[in-house]
Amino acid sequence: MKKLFSSIVNSPPFRIFDTSLRARLVVFFAFITVITVSTVGFISYGQVRRSIERSTTESTQVIAEQLKTNIELVFRDAERFLKIGTHSTTMAFLSPLEQSEESTYRLSLDIIDLFKLFREIYEFDSRIKGIHILGFNGNHIGEQEGRYELDGDLSDLQIVRTAMNRPGEVYLIPNKTIDYAGIESYKDVISITRIIVRPVTRELMGVIIIDVDRQAITALCENIRIGETGHFSIISD
């Protein structure tokens, strides 16, 4: 009986069935293994990629914030030069009351000294190309040219018309040319300007303009890299 059972089990049809089942099981387990490994691999790759992207984004944000701070420092120091416009000497220079030539000349020298004093005080003065004060009484003075006269009316200047929109507010205006200067010794600046207002009467006395070297701002962007090839840039005025 045992021989008969053994003979039946070991017969070709049963051997084929047994072999086929083992093959299917091997293929099944191999398939499951590949799917599992692939799934784990894709999940790991996705996690690593997201981690790298998050790290890159955070790093870029930190760099951008530092750049923003550096640029703000430059303009903040430049804006401090606007205080020259509120000085009593400047107010006297821009006074609509009639002045003697000697008095105006003396006030001009005092304002030039103010320009020098402010440059000695503030750190980023090298990025300031020039300072100008334009008076509605006809008295104009520049850091490099001293007292000078303008061709045409003050209100014809675009920078003055812009500042007149809201007297007392500070404006940052990109300028390719310096048409308000007595001597155009430089170009391509960002002008920080504000109307000079007499505190008590709110009378409009003139305009003060601080010219910041545009290239100095551009250089701050160019000197900062994101990875090996990325960089910041100024894309508009």
Q: Look at residue 28 and tell me whether its pLDDT is greater than 60.
A: no
Please indicate, yes or no, whether the overall pTM of this predicted structure exceeds 0.85: no
- CB contact at 8 A, 207 and 93: no
At residue 199, what is the residue type?
P
Higher pLDDT residue, 127 or 68? 127
Higher pLDDT residue, 19 or 17? 19
User: How far, in Å, CA of 128 to CA of 211, rounded?
Assistant: 6
Domain ranges of the chain: 71-220
Identify the residue whose tokens are 């008295």.
139
Q: What is the mean pLDDT of residues 215-236?
A: 59
Question: What is the predicted pLDDT for the residue at 3?
Answer: 47
So what's the architecture of 71-220 in CATH? 2-Layer Sandwich (3.30)
Using alpha carbons, select from 125, 123, 96, 92 the residue that is nearest to residue 106. 92
Question: Which of 5-14, 55-64, 79-88, 199-208 has the weakest average pLDDT?
Answer: 5-14
